[in-house]
Amino acid sequence: MTDTPARPLGIAMIGYAFMGRAHSQAWRTVAAAFDVPEIARRVIVGRDEDAVAEAAHRLDWEEHSTDWRAVIAREDIDVVDICTPGFLHAEIAIAALEAGKHVLCEKPLANDTAEAEAMVRAAEAATARGQVAALGFTYRRIPALALARQFVQDGKLGEIRQLRAAYLQDWLVDAEAPMSWRLRKESAGSGALGDIGSHAIDQIQHLAGQRVTAVRGRLATLVPERPGPDGPEPVTVDDAAWASLELDGGAVASVEVSRMATGAKNQLTVEVYGTRGALRFDLENPNELWFLDATAPIAQQGYTRVLVTEPEHPYLEAWWPQGHVLGWENAFSNQARDLLVAIRDGQDAPYSPSFRDGLDLQRVLDAVIASDAADGATITL
């Protein structure tokens, strides 16, 4: 644990697009909801001077900057929150960690494994010095999913045998939607698998409390060409993917992702089947956890819709009275809370997922791709 400075923890955020907006909301909100160390929203960083100035004003940061290296060097900055595109994560995160800062890095950890490995080395060195290196799989901080994890840890499901996760979206249904950097392998790394499949696989491992040991995978590009400025261009990433996973605790899991699932807006569904119970979750109704207690009398058994808004539920004491539901953005405040508590309490409240968790997840994703390339053969991790 580093000594928490007497002054507020200074936050610097790199990036101000979608994730920057969501993280800003969290930094503005966290102290009103939770008992956390005091913070100051010192500086927001971006490449475009005018745009970042406007963002600083709108998102309520004290200052703005176009020079992340200078910001990282500042004495009054304690936490660096990285919301840039993935290909910039490694350079910034490693520099920030080496400068002695706590780091929160948005997922995915990095665009390739070599970078991710370097980041893990920097993170583990920093952690040994008492810094926190946190990876942002924010859905772990959705109260219903945190409760699901708790139920599994408490043994309410017995031994976990089978899981199913799907993450379905529909923003590529229109075959005339234009080509973009997100659909090119060189710029995006991967397609639906890396973008949303990573969430699905993270939940599988996190909820089961088990690690993936073997993978069979399949990728598909259902619309292989899209209009570019100079005519049709090939789509070089997957727009749908499937994987079958073996876990080290004996469970099996399936994953399916798609950007072509007409009518699915942001539908991450997770199902966990154990010997004593089961759980179901749907991100489009994120305040509900469906729990089945298989030890209840048969005549009254079934899935119970738990509305996760009670003070007894994870994070909820900080929010509103029972029945007053939370939105997608609240998970980011919960995440900020956990990060600040980890900074304050050190090894008593270690932050998860770590950079290593991110690297491990990247290896699972790589294995899915490798399996598909090997005509579906099992890839062992």
Binding mask 339-368 for a second copy (x = CB under 8 A): ------------------------------
Other C-beta atoms lying within 10 Å of the C-beta of residue 156: 19
Report which of 59, 265, 312 is spatially closest to residue 167, judged by C-alpha positions: 265
Token pair of 225 as six digits: 């060409």
The whole-angstrom distance between residue 213's C-alpha and the CA centroid of its chain comes to: 21
Binding mask 246-275 for a second copy (x = CB under 8 A): ------x-x-x-x-xxxxxxxx---x-xxx
- Please enumerate in sequence order all residues whose Cβ is within 8 A of that of 306, keeping only pairs 6 or more positions apart, or say none: 144, 147, 288, 289, 290, 291
Instruction: Choose between 228 and 376: whose C-beta lies nearer to a second copy.
Output: 376
Shortest distance, position 94 Cβ to a second copy, whole Å: 30
Q: Which of 2, 4, 31, 99 binds a second copy (CB under 8 A)?
A: 31
Shortest distance, position 35 Cβ to a second copy, whole Å: 9
Binding mask 271-310 for a second copy (x = CB under 8 A): x-xxxxxx----xxxxx---xxxx--xxxxxxxxxxx-xx
Taking CB under 8 A as the criterion, which residues in 102-141 touch a second copy? Answer: none
Instruction: Choose between 103 and 270: whose C-beta lies nearer to a second copy.
Output: 270
Shortest distance, position 80 Cβ to a second copy, whole Å: 21
CB 165 within 8 A of CB 271: yes
Tell me how far apart the alpha carbons of residues 217 and 188 are, in angstroms, rounded to a whole number. 19
Shortest distance, position 69 Cβ to a second copy, whole Å: 27
Q: Could you say whether residue 46 binds a second copy (CB under 8 A)?
A: no
Taking CB under 8 A as the criterion, which residues in 198-257 touch a second copy? Answer: 216, 218, 220, 222, 240, 242, 244, 252, 254, 256
Token pair of 70 as six digits: 């200078």
Tell me how far apart the alpha carbons of residues 21 and 26 are, in angstroms, rounded to a whole number. 9
Positive/negative CA dihedral, 83, 143, 165, 224? negative
Binding mask 166-195 for a second copy (x = CB under 8 A): x--xxx-xxx--------------------
Shortest distance, position 143 Cβ to a second copy, whole Å: 11
Q: At what angle do helices 355-373 and 113-128 cross, to 10 degrees?
A: 160
- Measured at the CA of 115, the angle between CA 110 and CA 118, to 5 degrees, comes to 120
Tell me how far apart the alpha carbons of residues 190 and 369 are, in angstroms, rounded to a whole number. 9
Q: Which of 74, 121, 161, 344 binds a second copy (CB under 8 A)?
A: 161
